[in-house]
Chain A
Amino acid sequence: MKKLKKLWDLMEGFRMLYIGAIISIGLATFFSLLTPLVISTTIDSIIGDKPLNIPRWAVNIIDYFGGTDELSQKLWICAFMIIGLTFFRGIFLYAKGKWSAVSAESIAKNIREKVYDHLQHLSYNYHVKAETGDLIQRCTSDVDTIRRFLSVQLVEIGRAIFMIGLVTPIIFSLNVKLAFVAISIIPVIFLFALIFFIKIKSAFKLSDEAEGRMSTTLQENLTGMRVVRAFARQKYEIEKFDEKSKEYRDLTFRVIWLLAWYWSLSDLLCFIQIGGVIVLGSYWGAKGTITLGTLVVFFTYEGMILWPVRQLGRILTDLGKTIVSIDRIQEILDVPREKKEKHERRPEIKGNISFKKVYFEYDAGRTVLNDISFDIKSGETIAIMGQTGSGKSSLVHLLARLYDYQKGSIKIDGVELKNIEKKWIRKNVGIVLQEPFLFSKSIKENISLARKGAKDAEVFEAARVAAIHDAVLDFDKGYETTVGERGVTLSGGQKQRIAIARTIINDSPILIFDDSLSAVDTETDASIRKALNNRRNSATTIIISHRISTLSEADRILVLDEGNLVQSGTHEELINKSGLYSRVWKIQNSLEEDMSKIV
């Protein structure tokens, strides 16, 4: 019941529409049940001469048209009644179809947007650790499971209930004995369907898994085609694939085979049910205890009631799946979002940065940064170097509040960083990540992502500074070229340069390059930095790099080692002290020696 509550919660805002849809299906069912009654009355009392066996108000209708004798001369009235009833039934069927679609699609839209928005507001750390494939699965197929249940199946349950609820009293009022016969096997059919669909789940799963294995084999073959050819393994691959493909074929056939038994047996049950009505109905009909028209009603109702009953078994198994899907989505929504705290402010940011005894760890006990203190004045260019895992990236991530430090203090222009709103600081800190992500939009749109309505001139200027302008113009469609899966594939260096362009377009007072020129050659690296310097001197710039040429041109160099700030100073100061920086610097000289040895 608690689980059904979740479903109910999801329907918030569309409950009335659903109730409308369910009432519509009820009315449609009602009208569909009236048609056989009109036919039976016509046959029995209008064409035939049996006494009317219908409620008072219905007799009134017949009297209004002049009674049964008169009507037998005007059978077209009966025909129109049937058409009219079906027409009304159609209207309500349409209303049900439309309303349940509107509400189910709207709910699905809401869920999609809610999950999307929520995911975007989860912490940076969540996304570092996230398993993309699993998340996408939840966002797409789980949402779709819910949508399908809400749009089709939920209303079907309503139909089945109305059908059974309305048919049972009618047939009992018509003939109690035959009514008992008519519903005797229905519970068996329902249970059979329910049990079958629960049992068959594992067979479905096996077939799906086999398909997955076949797809994987195919994909590995296609992506590894060079290996296949180079080793002349075509025959081997064909045999391997054939085995998986056969397995998939056979397991899928097994599902169909089980379904064949299901349909065959459940049809047999239905036929027995119908047969019982025909044989016993004929017997009582011949004895005169039941009229022909009534019998026709029974025949028709029996056919109408059996289908929803069989469907019900299937729908109830799907309800289980739907609840699992709701849970899987709820798990995402339960992860806390990054929130704006009350005390957070939006101070003006000029670019003075001060670290005092900053301590940071990702997980308790695993120190990443320890006791880091330094000051950067607005407009300075600072380079950071250190070995892999020394904490360089973490340090700059703290500045954009992608993570929060645990001890010590970071001040931006005198304001404690933790008191500055996250989005505000990120707008003022332009950070180019190590592995930039480009969106599958045009290059122009990618560059102007962070600056809505940027003019072409601004985009070009940013691209020129990032030394990508000429390369972009070389593409067939220039700035309109789409990047990513559906467009051109860019090299690592091109991606990095576009990422730089989109970051600098915003004129942030603080700029951070997290090893973001690694895939660009040394000369381009130098020209980008030169262009940046010419563009504005005011931005505080932090560059993480491995390149000594890049590092040496900074105002100051910070050297990190295992989370500690071990050295800092200008190029001249550092080359004379022993340490990581001077070791890397000396390679330049040793190179000359090496070369003279070889030549």
Chain B
Amino acid sequence: MSTIKEQEYSKKIDFRVWKKLLSYLKPYRKILMLLCVIMIGVSGVDVVFPYMNKYAIDNFITTGNLDGLWKFSLIYVGLIILQAVNILVFIAIAGKLETSLPYDIRKIGFERLQQLSFSYYDKTPVGWMMARMTSDLRRLGEIISWGIVDFVWGITMMFGIACVMFTLNWKLALITLSVVPLLALISLYFQQKILKAYRQVRKINSRITGSFNEGISGAKTTKTLVREEENLKEFEGLTGKMRASSIRAAVFSALFLPIVLTLGSVGTGLTLWFGGQRVLLETISYGTLVLFLSYTTQFFEPVRQLARILAELQAAQASAERVISMIETEPEIKDSQEVTDKFGTIYAPKKESWPNIQGNICFQNVSFAYKDGEKVLENFNINVKSGETIALVGETGSGKSTIVNLTCRFYEPTEGSILIDGVDYKERSLEWLHSNLGYVLQSPHLFSGTIKDNISYGYLEATEMDIIRAAKLVNAHSFIMKLENGYDTEVGEGGGKLSTGEKQLISFARAIVSNPAIFVLDEATSSIDTETEQLIQEAITNILEGRTSFIIAHRLSTIVSADRILVIRRGKVTEEGTHEQLLQKKGYYYRLYTNQFKKEKQESILNA
């Protein structure tokens, strides 16, 4: 089904991908610089603090002289205020980056998604796109902004400490830091292991969520099949795996800290041993020894942090690649340069140069394949005059929807061309066509918001009068007025607060509020109560008047009222003509009609 493979784990860090992501930080260059300066300040103060202890030990405690304690205290107070301000500012800046970077990329991604062709949507599950736009971007924002913070802090911290240590006593510094390379390697190894283990946990966790979902949605079926015990057994298998992998991940973490600590203590021990000897030999002071001892512990934190950043970059590599690949996908259907020069883009349309539309549609030798080699339409020809209603009938997969998709330019013909008012529609802009098009889907899709919002979606400049007129035309006005807030009633997510029939009526109103010349309707198959059914039938009759229409028809009354009926089988027109003409043929249409007739009559009795 989906051609998108989830990339699980890349071993190497691909800097090209990260460079691309970092290029989105350009607008924030200034605060990024400030952030780096602040982080250097933070690590500077972090390095100075233990030095203050050393100073206090060497100058006050060992000497017993209190001169300068006041000055010392003042400097200390100054430092802590500076550090508090530093912390406030760096968290704020990192937060700014953490929220702004994903916002910016999300905006670009959203714009790109508005342009990508339906061929992309066909092979990309909505959940996949959602994940890229939400969790992946959130994660990348976090890693990049806090990664920069920890990276700058860690590097300068290590550098600062090393400088002080080497200045004071380079031999002891070498001894103290001798464990660092090993520490770095071990940290990197464990961070990778830990991240991998937690990814495994998350994977099983999402399966558990899926299992709960099935267990709850399928509970009724489970009962009828008496599958409770087996289901539980299967579920226990999953929770058992979850337990095992969670413990595994936790054990890795639990091992990591003790190993790092013990290694660190080797550093401390070495410092105490060799530093102590130097104190006895009086080559270094007490304060210096204490300073070295605190620096050993302070030095190891940045090492761990840097290892963590590296491991996280590695783990987020796949996210970064997926996001970049989505943003960089090129839309298959777009207006050519000449067309946008002439008619403008979707953001800046040049409406003044748009030609008026008559609504003559002509398919010339049109062939189409969704996938290479599998032709859905072949050499299809049809000439529809302005104002004509064409009903398309046929089985699922016969090619009816393809004809509609091509008319709407959701897809373009692989061969042949489609002319509107005698001109290939590729020579006109997409927006021009869509502005003149009314479209109703089989299952109506409404957006959260009020009924008014949803109707005016078809024509943003619509006045209240326009909206009411449209609603009246499609028989929606009376039910809307019965709602508590009338046109200002919230429809809920996906229109969930309305019935299917009501949603259909609203989607009709939306389609005709702009008075389009071309109308495309994929008629609903789901049965609704007879009363609403009646309203919908009337609405369709009203809508069709004076518009060129393509209808994927299921209901008899819709089919019968069409000017021309095309029976489509396997991408070809097998029967064509008016209702009477086709009935007389006694062919496929005849059978289809009689079956549908029986079905509808029965439904009208049984669905009272």
Interface residue A242 (Cβ < 8 Å from any Cβ of B) = yes
Contact (A260, B91) CB under 8 Å given A242-B107, A402-B224, A439-B218: yes
Q: In whole angstroms, what is the CA distance A488 to B494 when docked? A: 24
1/0 per residue, CB under 8 A from A, across B438-451: the answer is 01010001011000
- Chain A residues lying within 8 Å of B478, measured Cβ to Cβ, are none
Contact B597 A594 (CB under 8 A): yes
Contact B72 A78 (CB under 8 A): no
Q: In whole angstroms, what is the CA distance A91 to B584 when docked? A: 91
CB neighbors of B among A517-576 (8 A): 522, 546-548
Interface residue A431 (Cβ < 8 Å from any Cβ of B) = yes
Q: In whole angstroms, what is the CA distance A594 to B579 when docked? A: 14
Q: Total contacts A to B, CB within 8 angstroms?
A: 426
The distance from the CB of A349 to the nearest CB of chain B, in whole angstroms, is 14
- Chain B residues lying within 8 Å of A436, measured Cβ to Cβ, are 221
**Which of A39, A249, A385 meets B272, CB within 8 Å?**
A39
Contact B232 A116 (CB under 8 A): yes
Interface residue A151 (Cβ < 8 Å from any Cβ of B) = yes
CB neighbors of B among A273-331 (8 A): 275, 278-279, 281-283, 285-288, 292, 295-296, 299
1/0 per residue, CB under 8 A from B, across A418-446: the answer is 00000100110011010011011000000
Contact (A227, B72) CB under 8 Å given A105-B243, A124-B223, A264-B88: no
Interface size on A, residues (CB 8 A): 155
Nearest neighbor of B70 in chain A, beta-carbon distance: A279
- Chain B residues lying within 8 Å of A116, measured Cβ to Cβ, are 211-212, 215, 231-232, 235
Contact A47 B228 (CB under 8 A): no
Contact A402 B580 (CB under 8 A): no
Contact B408 A230 (CB under 8 A): yes
CB neighbors of B among A566-599 (8 A): 580, 583-584, 587-588, 590-591, 594-595, 598-599
Contact B247 A101 (CB under 8 A): yes
- Chain A residues lying within 8 Å of B217, measured Cβ to Cβ, are 132, 437
**Which of A86, A230, A235, A268 meets B84, CB within 8 Å?**
A268
The distance from the CB of B551 to the nearest CB of chain A, in whole angstroms, is 15
Q: In whole angstroms, what is the CA distance A124 to B274 when docked? A: 76
Interface residue A414 (Cβ < 8 Å from any Cβ of B) = no
Nearest neighbor of A502 in chain B, beta-carbon distance: B225
Interface residue A58 (Cβ < 8 Å from any Cβ of B) = no
Contact A124 B220 (CB under 8 A): yes
Nearest neighbor of A103 in chain B, beta-carbon distance: B247
The distance from the CB of A300 to the nearest CB of chain B, in whole angstroms, is 8
- Chain B residues lying within 8 Å of A82, measured Cβ to Cβ, are 265, 268-269, 272
- Chain B residues lying within 8 Å of A136, measured Cβ to Cβ, are 209, 212-213, 216
Q: In whole angstroms, what is the CA distance A101 to B231 when docked? A: 26
The distance from the CB of A267 to the nearest CB of chain B, in whole angstroms, is 5
- Chain B residues lying within 8 Å of A458, measured Cβ to Cβ, are none
CB neighbors of B among A485-530 (8 A): 485, 487-489, 491, 499, 502-503, 522
The distance from the CB of B235 to the nearest CB of chain A, in whole angstroms, is 5
CB neighbors of B among A7-40 (8 A): 35, 39
Q: In whole angstroms, what is the CA distance A108 to B602 when docked? A: 53
- Chain B residues lying within 8 Å of A128, measured Cβ to Cβ, are 220
Interface size on B, residues (CB 8 A): 148
Contact A113 B269 (CB under 8 A): no
Contact (A296, B290) CB under 8 Å given A121-B228, A229-B408: yes
CB neighbors of A among B238-290 (8 A): 239-240, 242-243, 246-247, 250-251, 253-255, 257-259, 261-262, 264-266, 268-270, 272-274, 276-277, 279-280, 286, 289-290
Q: In whole angstroms, what is the CA distance A282 to B60 when docked? A: 6
Nearest neighbor of B81 in chain A, beta-carbon distance: A268
Contact B408 A222 (CB under 8 A): no
- Chain B residues lying within 8 Å of A218, measured Cβ to Cβ, are 110, 130, 133-134
- Chain B residues lying within 8 Å of A275, measured Cβ to Cβ, are 73, 76-77, 80
Interface residue A89 (Cβ < 8 Å from any Cβ of B) = yes
Nearest neighbor of B431 in chain A, beta-carbon distance: A232
Interface-side segment among A160-168, A190-198, A250-258, A459-467: A250-258
Interface residue A109 (Cβ < 8 Å from any Cβ of B) = yes
Contact B262 A98 (CB under 8 A): no
**Which of A90, A234, A296, A580 meets B346, CB within 8 Å?**
A234
- Chain B residues lying within 8 Å of A292, measured Cβ to Cβ, are 57, 61-62, 286, 290
- Chain A residues lying within 8 Å of B69, measured Cβ to Cβ, are 279, 282-283, 286
Interface residue A135 (Cβ < 8 Å from any Cβ of B) = yes
The distance from the CB of A169 to the nearest CB of chain B, in whole angstroms, is 24
Contact B445 A227 (CB under 8 A): yes
- Chain B residues lying within 8 Å of A94, measured Cβ to Cβ, are 254-255, 258
Q: Is the interface of A mostly helix, strand, loop or mixed?
A: helix
Interface residue B587 (Cβ < 8 Å from any Cβ of A) = no
Q: In whole angstroms, what is the CA distance A509 to B514 when docked? A: 61
Q: In whole angstroms, what is the CA distance A86 to B262 when docked? A: 6
Contact A245 B103 (CB under 8 A): yes
The distance from the CB of B117 to the nearest CB of chain A, in whole angstroms, is 9
The distance from the CB of B301 to the nearest CB of chain A, in whole angstroms, is 12
The distance from the CB of A356 to the nearest CB of chain B, in whole angstroms, is 25
Interface residue B324 (Cβ < 8 Å from any Cβ of A) = no
Interface residue A61 (Cβ < 8 Å from any Cβ of B) = no
1/0 per residue, CB under 8 A from B, across A373-404: the answer is 00000000000011110000000000010100
Contact A93 B257 (CB under 8 A): yes
Nearest neighbor of B437 in chain A, beta-carbon distance: A230
Nearest neighbor of B55 in chain A, beta-carbon distance: A282
Contact A234 B410 (CB under 8 A): no
Nearest neighbor of A270 in chain B, beta-carbon distance: B80
- Chain A residues lying within 8 Å of B514, measured Cβ to Cβ, are 231
Interface residue A449 (Cβ < 8 Å from any Cβ of B) = yes
- Chain A residues lying within 8 Å of B203, measured Cβ to Cβ, are none
Interface residue B99 (Cβ < 8 Å from any Cβ of A) = yes
Contact B605 A583 (CB under 8 A): yes
Contact B103 A232 (CB under 8 A): no
Contact (A39, B210) CB under 8 Å given A216-B493, A279-B69, A426-B226: no
- Chain B residues lying within 8 Å of A431, measured Cβ to Cβ, are 224
Cβ-closest 4 pairs across A and B? A97-B254, A90-B258, A256-B95, A79-B269
Question: Could you pull out 17 A-B pairs where Cβ atoms are within 8 angstroms?
Answer: A76-B273, A79-B269, A93-B261, A221-B114, A226-B439, A227-B445, A227-B457, A234-B346, A241-B110, A256-B91, A271-B84, A282-B61, A386-B606, A387-B605, A450-B225, A583-B605, A595-B583
Inter-chain pairs besides A231-B439, A488-B1, 4 sampled, C-beta below 8 Å: A97-B253, A105-B243, A237-B114, A245-B110
**Residues of chain B at the chain A interface (Cβ within 8 Å):** 1, 52-53, 56-57, 60-66, 69, 72-73, 76-77, 80-81, 83-85, 87-89, 91-92, 94-96, 98-100, 102-103, 106-107, 110-111, 113-115, 118, 121, 126, 129-130, 133-134, 205, 208-228, 230-232, 235-236, 239-240, 242-243, 246-247, 250-251, 253-255, 257-259, 261-262, 264-266, 268-270, 272-274, 276-277, 279-280, 286, 289-290, 293-294, 346-347, 396, 408, 410, 430-431, 434-435, 437, 439, 441, 445, 447-448, 457-458, 460, 493-494, 510, 514, 520, 579-580, 583-584, 594-595, 597-598, 601-603, 605-608
